[in-house]
Amino acid sequence: MVGYGYWGPLLARNFAAIPGSRLVAVCDSSDEQLALARMHYSQLRCVTSIIELLEDSRIDAVAIATPVSSHFELVHACLIAGKHVLVEKPLASSSNQARALVKTAEDYRRVLLIDHTYLYSSAVQAISAALTHGELGEVYYYDSVRINLGRFRSDVDVLWDLASHDLAILDYLFNDAPTSLQAVGFTYPPGEMCPLAYLTLRWGERRIAQIHVSWLAPVKVRRTLIGGSLGMVVFDDLDPDTKLRIYDHGIAGTGPSNRQGDAPLQWRIGYRRGEMRAPLLSIAEPLRNLAEHFIDCISKGAPVRSDGDSGVRVIEWLEAAQRSLAQGGIPVHLDISTKVSE
């Protein structure tokens, strides 16, 4: 485990608990954090330099939870040392760095998995199944609110911190890539970090996604709505009882209106209100599922759910958001060839 600050202890706890893996070492530059690690794992090897771990042939894999600016150097060093790598999102500081890491993982035939945690939640898996089975019909919109007060980060802004979750979910749920993107927000202090932003993605005229992220809200909200021609979804990650609801609700054009005075192309809207179901979700922690998946990818050759290519796409979209934000929210056209429909 490289990095034992905010996220590292959570990853370490899960790798220490699952069959098929053994947590043997933690690397952190802080003696205080290493002392905390020793308190929880008495047999743990604690070091301040990753070089010692890279030279140990008994170590098969490394999990990295460090600031984004350090990802490229650390991931690259681990891959060329023959280690499989799990790295906290986002994969790197730029899409160029991310693509280089994907190429290195391919060259050395190592597993490279990005910790897009929501892809390992039972709720997102249930949404994916509903889409696959056509329960929502044609999807019209994705609307997400991901806000709270803090945690301000010095290495990335709120888009890279919070919107990256939704971008990873969108990339996972839909086979087609968005055609354009625009972002608006403001910086605080002026000219420095962006703590609040609104991000809009479009798939031509067919679908729209709106993402609201903020470190400046008095309450914590993690809520997503997805609407389609046949059904709608509400995913509230903070609801302790019912995180996911799937509604058999929808709208449909019933044909041109015959009412006198209506415009020739005026359509009447029909509303369908059916039942709501709340799928039974696994109580397994998403990080536990992620850790088990990483081990399966290494030991069984399972396809990587959040692989390097998906990590590259998320960063490309974040870079487009930064360009749009810097130019007052103008739309940025995206290269849809970055994702090919399955």
State pLDDT tens for residues 269-308: 667 778 899 999 999 999 999 999 999 999 999 999 999 9
Same domain, 75 and 137: no
Residues sharing a CB contact under 8 Å with residue 272, sequence separation 6 or more, in sequence order: 248, 249, 250, 251, 252
Instruction: Give domain status of residue 51, yes or no.
Output: yes
Alpha-carbon distance of 147 to 198, in angstroms, equals 11
| Token pair recorded at residue 151 | 């945690």
Query: Model confidence at 254, in pLDDT bands (50, 70, 90)?
Result: low
Q: What is the mean pLDDT of residues 35-44?
A: 93
Residue 1 lies inside a defined structural domain of this protein? no
Same domain, 130 and 240: yes
What is the length of the chain?
Answer: 342
Tokens of 227: 């609407």
Say what percent of the chain tops pLDDT 90.
84
pTM, 2 dp: 0.92
Taking residues 171-192, report their average pLDDT.
90
Q: Are residues 106 and 145 in the same domain?
A: no
In this structure, are residues 334 and 319 in contact, taking their beta carbons and an 8 Å threshold? no
**Confidence grade of residue 338 (pLDDT, cut at 50, 70, 90):** low
Closest CA to 86 of 318, 285, 293: 293
Q: How confident is the model at residue 341 (pLDDT cuts 50, 70, 90)?
A: very low
Are 141 and 205 in the same domain?
Answer: yes
Question: What does pLDDT average to over the chain?
Answer: 92
Listed in sequence order, the residues at least 6 apart from 189 whose beta carbon sits closer than 8 Å to its beta carbon are none
Cα separations (Å) of 9 from 3, 199, 201?
8, 31, 34
Domain contains 12: yes
The helix-helix angle for 308-326 and 164-173 (nearest 10°) equals 130
**Contact, 37 vs 4, CB < 8 A?**
yes
Q: What is the DSSP letter of 70?
A: G
Neighbouring-strand partners of residue 185: 197
Residue 260's pLDDT is what? Answer: 59
pLDDT value at position 23? 96
Which pLDDT band, with edges at 50, 70 and 90, does 340 fall under? very low
| Residue 300 per-residue DSSP state | T
Give the structural domain span for 227. Answer: 121-284+312-338
For residues 244 and 131, membership in a common domain is answered with yes
Residues 255 and 218 occupy one common structural domain: yes
- What pLDDT, on the 0 to 100 scale, is given for residue 251? 73
Q: 308-326 and 95-108 helices cross at what angle (nearest 10)?
A: 170
Give the whole-number percent of the chain exceeding pLDDT 70. Answer: 92
pLDDT band at 11 (very low <50, low <70, confident <90, very high): very high
Residue 22 in domain: yes
User: Which of 89-93, 251-255, 293-297 is predicted least confidently?
Assistant: 251-255
- In tens, the pLDDT along 12-28 reads 999 999 999 999 999 99
How confident is the model over 27-48, as a mean pLDDT?
94
Domain annotation covers residue 42:
yes
Contact present, 190 and 122 (Cβ < 8 Å): no
Helix or strand or coil: residue 268?
Answer: strand
**pLDDT for res 154:** 78
Same-domain pairing of 49 and 175 = no
In a shared domain, residues 170 and 128: yes
CATH number at residue 61: 3.40.50.720
The yes-or-no verdict on residue 342 having pLDDT over 50 is no
Pair 194, 321: CB distance under 8 Å:
no
Give me the number of domains the chain comprises.
Answer: 2
**Does residue 149 share a domain with residue 221?**
yes
Question: Which pLDDT score, from 0 to 100, does residue 151 have?
Answer: 81
Q: Is 334 inside a domain boundary?
A: yes
Whether residue 275 lies inside any domain: the answer is yes
Crossing angle between the packed helical segments 286-299 and 8-17, to the nearest 10 degrees: 60
Q: H-helix or E-strand containing 72?
A: helix 71-80
Do residues 225 and 296 share a domain?
no
Predicted pLDDT of residue 130? 97
Q: Are residues 70 and 139 in the same domain?
A: no
pLDDT for 269: 66
Q: Please tell me whether residues 111 and 151 are part of one structural domain.
A: no
Q: Which residues contact 79 (CB under 8 A, 6 or more apart)?
A: 85, 101, 104, 105, 108, 110, 112
Would residue 2 count as lying in a domain?
Answer: no
Is 262's pLDDT higher than 80?
Answer: no
Compute how many other C-beta atoms are within 10 angstroms of the C-beta atom of residue 116: 27
Residue environment code for 203-216, b if the CB has 16+ CB neighbours within 10 A, otherwise e? beeebbbebbbbbe
CATH number assigned to the domain comprising residue 197 = 3.30.360.10
Would you call the peptide bond into 151 cis, given omega within 30 degrees of 0 as the criterion? yes
